Structure 1
Amino acid sequence: MDTKQYIETGILELYVYGLLSETENTEVSQLAQKHPEIEAEIVSIEKAIVNLSTSFSPFLSAENFEKIKAKLDLKHSKVIPMKSISNRNQYIGWAAAAILFVGVGYQYLQLSETKNLVATTEKEKANLQENVASLELKNKQTTTALTVVRDTKNTVITLGGQAVSPTSSAKIYWNKETEVVYVDASGLPEPPEGMVYQIWSLKLQPQLTPTSIGLLSDFTANKERIFAVEKTSDAEAFGITLEPAGGSKSPTMEQLYTLGKV
């Protein structure tokens, strides 16, 4: 019989784990008695499993493992009787179960850590995207502000503070050719919650005629306080009032914050 080929079939591992039938166990036991190489391989497999169990299992006492190891270290002068094999297989099965339990626990821990890492990464990605969007918006606002201020074709109208807010101020940048209007509201205080600044293009003759040309929405988000509003062609003055959110059809004169003639 070629014992090397027999060993390489893997049947001895199944024998050690107690996964063979009684007939197969008897066959292996008899062959082990006849062939020292087979018996030595069985002992080697048992020692390997016990050593691995000792390294990883936190559930078995060191004393029990030492007893098992001491028993396995004894030189076998004959094949262990079937009853002893059954007990030995019980111990080996116990060790294998402990290894399996540790392995499952380790895999679960790794899975939990991976999920936490993915969640953290997604959060960091979202924060980064938010920061990038914020920087892009700020850059756009800054570029717009510089373009408006540097445009020599713009007529600049200074709006002074009125009775309700004497310290307020604003500037209108009006290109009369294109009729485009920008408002620099950096001199206005933060509007109260539920209120919004409204821009009015005013005709003074033959009578005062106000026309709304826009709201200064998202006042807090616009750090540069430069706002594009609707075009106008025939304004003689500009005014800014504080109105309820959504704006008003006509200006609330008691809430006139700034006013200036062209």
Structure 2
Amino acid sequence: MEDVKAYIESGVLELYVLGDLTPDERLEVERMALKYPAVKAEIAEIEKSMEMYAQEHAIEPSENLKDKIVNSTLVNLGDDRIFTKQRKHTDEIAYEDDNVITMPKRTQFYKYAFAASVALLLISIYGLVNLYSQLQESNTQLAVLQADKTKFANQVNLKDEQLKLYLDTNYHIVRLKGLPKTPSASMVLAWNPSTQKVMVDMNAMKLPKHDAEHQYQLWALVKGKPVDMGIFDNATVDSAIVKEMKNVASAQGFAVTLEPKGGSINPTLNQMVVIGQF
């Protein structure tokens, strides 16, 4: 009896009920069940317990989904209810497995329970993927809104800086006008003699567009001589509203010329586009 008890507790009977044994292993279990009533009773108890567990935890899928999964599952699983193949023999020839018992047919419920579990798993995966996609979309929208908010805040700050520039009495406002060859060109800058700062109003700048090989260069007119104040490009949508140039201690006026990219040591006078004096 100790061997029978150990056999029952080995877990092979649970695998037998689940259908996870090889044909030879299944045949061995059936022989043990024929020989030992305790083994047969244990098999029946396991089947009963598993059926009760499946009934308690089963989730009924939709009819349409259930039909599709069950039809596919039944084709692949096959019919495993018959344990031995019937053999023909005469009275003179006896086969060893003639006395093998036929176990009770298993209910179709196992297959439906399995199909329901698969359906629940697929539905859960679909739900998780859909939720993840919605979360990613929400994060993207939030990032766009945050970027717009930051851009708007920067624009407000720059507008405030521009307004303060014009309201600050320490700054001298210089309006540069176009020459005969550039009559529509204009630019506004502010110069603070105390701090020596020179600020160009990019928002009010109206200069002809230049190619990628050239840039505009600002010059301060100091005692009749041009002094380099730095280079800049045409204003764009993303350009700062106010651009700070090089400092200058004193100036009688300012001018802008079109120079090769990177600027020049001396201004190209025939490329002058705007000029303004105090």
Bucket of the pairwise TM-score, normalised by the shorter protein = 0.5 to 0.7
Change (3 A) 1:210 1:103: same
Unpaired segments of 5 or more residues in structure 1? 1-13, 33-37, 65-80
Identity within the alignment, % = 18
- Corresponding residue for residue 196 of structure 1: 215
Separation (CA, whole Å) in 2 of partners of 1:145 and 1:261: 21
Please report the RMSD computed on the Cα atoms of aligned residues, expressed in angstroms. 3.7
Matches within 5 A, 1:216-227: 216-217=232-233, 219-221=235-237, 225-227=241-243
Q: 2:266 aligns with which of 220, 225, 250?
A: 250
Change (3 A) 1:190 1:139: farther
TM-score (norm 1): 0.67
For the pair 1:170 / 2:190, whether they are aligned, the reply is: no
The alpha-carbon distance between structure 1 residues 43 and 148, as it changes in their structure 2 partners (threshold 3 A), is: closer
Contact 1:190-1:220 within 8 A present in 2 as well: no
CA distance in 2, matches of 1:60, 1:177: 88
Question: Of 163, 183, 203, which residue of structure 2 is paired with 1:146?
Answer: 163
Which amino acid counterpart does residue 275 of structure 2 have in structure 1?
Answer: L
> CA offset at residue 109 of structure 1?
1.2
Deviation of 1:138 (Å): 0.7
Instruction: Measure how far apart 1:25 and its partner are.
Output: 7.1
Picking from 223, 240, 243, the partner of 2:256 is 240
Tell me by how many angstroms 1:259 deviates: 0.1
Aligned letter for 1:183? V
Contact 1:242 1:256 in 2 (8 A): yes
Structure 1 residue 146: deviation in Å?
A: 0.5
**Cα deviations by residue, 1:12-71 (Å, 9 ceiling, x for unpaired):** xx79x7479765772157779xxxxx98x988767667883675624236xx9xxxxxxx
Q: Contact conserved, 2:190 with 2:200, CA < 8 A, in 1?
A: yes
| Aligned partner of 1:110 among 120, 124, 127 | 127
Shift of 1:227: 1.9
CA distance in 1, matches of 2:221, 2:190: 15
Match of 1:213 among 209, 225, 229: 229
Give TM-score scaled by structure 2 length. Answer: 0.64
Counterpart of 2:149 in structure 1: which amino acid? Answer: V
User: Structure 1 residues 45 and 52 mapped into 2: Cα distance closer, same or farther (>3 Å)?
Assistant: farther
Question: 2:229 is aligned with what amino acid?
Answer: I
Q: Structure 1 CA distance, aligned partners of 2:222 and 2:268? A: 16
Q: Is the 8 A contact 2:61 2:116 kept in 1?
A: yes
Write the distance in 2 (CA, Å) between the matches of 1:215 and 1:101.
Answer: 69
Pair 1:147–1:46, CA change in 2 (3 A): closer
Query: Any unmatched runs of 5+ in structure 2?
Result: 1-13, 21-28, 75-100
Q: What corresponds to 1:121 in structure 2?
A: 138
Structure 1 residue 214: Cα displacement = 2.2
Tell me if the contact between 1:200 and 1:212 (Cα under 8 Å) persists in the aligned partners: yes
Distance of 2:129 and 2:118 partners within structure 1: 17
Give the superposition deviation at 1:260.
1.0
- Distance in 2 (CA, whole Å) between partners of 1:50 and 1:130 is 49
How far did residue 126 of structure 1 move? 2.4
The AA in structure 1 aligned to 2:154 is: L
Q: Is the 8 A contact 2:258 2:271 kept in 1?
A: yes
Q: Which amino acid aligns with 1:60?
A: V
Kept in 2: contact 1:170–1:184 (CA 8 A): yes
Offset, 1:239: 0.6
Query: Paired residues, what number?
Result: 220
2:186–2:207 contact (8 Å) kept in structure 1 = no
Offset, 1:190: 6.1
